Amino acid sequence: MAGGLSSRFGSDKARVEVACVEDRIEGTSEPLLLALRRSLSRQGHTVEIVADRADRYDDLGVQCLVDRLIGQGPLAGVATALQHREQQRPGWLLLISCDLYVWHAEWFKSLAKMAIEHQPSPNGNAPQPVDAIAFVGDMKSDLRVEKQVWEPFPSLLHTRLLPQALTNLRREQYSLQTLFQASRTVAVKSSDNPQAWTFNTPQQLRSLRPEAGS
């Protein structure tokens, strides 16, 4: 998911330079978008980039799926990704955002494990199929946990979720929290919370870089 405006960051977050750990050459770097694609490809995923226009990353040699509804937030990108997946073959889709500073393979394994546990069984004894699997985090105020919230990325979404996503778009209900709450969504807890590795401001990015001493 790389179609956002990155307004709080001040420039395109997908183009942030990160170290090429794989090459083990000191001083070598590449855009975060390419680093994430490389990490996902190594895990066996076929990677597609969803953006606001097809040529957004032409200079990086990356072709993009284009949001069909521009200016309607991440939900429009989710719908675009689900539509593309359904046209190929209905099933599960792993979505991540371009502001995820690292990719840990264990995150996908945790999501996939839950998908396997909730898949329908041949004898029909399994519970109703789920539409989405996502990590949850705590919303805090004054150091107290007020409620748990869905963390939309990374997540596993099934193409069964597409009709609800399109309905929410028509109703101008753009929140992904609303989408998950209106669907059959399963929560996953992780001690290594993916949300802790995302950034929206330069200050948050500095806290994630190894040279920051964190």
Check pLDDT > 80 for residue 146.
no
Token pair belonging to 10: 């001040």
Instruction: Please give the radius of gyration of the chain, using alpha carbons only, rounded to the nearest integer.
Output: 18
Distances (CA, A) of 36 to 51, 75, 98, 130, 150: 15, 21, 8, 27, 22
Nearest to 194 by CA among 108, 121, 116: 108
Check pLDDT > 80 for residue 84.
yes
Is the CB of residue 75 less than 8 Å from the CB of residue 179?
yes
Mean pLDDT, the chain, rounded, equals 88
DSSP secondary structure letters along 75-103:
HHHHHHHHHHHHHH-SSEEEE--TTBS--
Check pLDDT > 80 for residue 123.
no
Q: How confident is the model at residue 191 (pLDDT cuts 50, 70, 90)?
A: confident
Check pLDDT > 50 for residue 100.
yes
Domain annotation for the chain: domains and CATH numbers = 13-212 (3.90.550.10)
pLDDT tens digits, one per residue of 3-61: 888 889 999 999 999 987 555 555 688 999 999 999 999 999 999 999 998 999 999 99
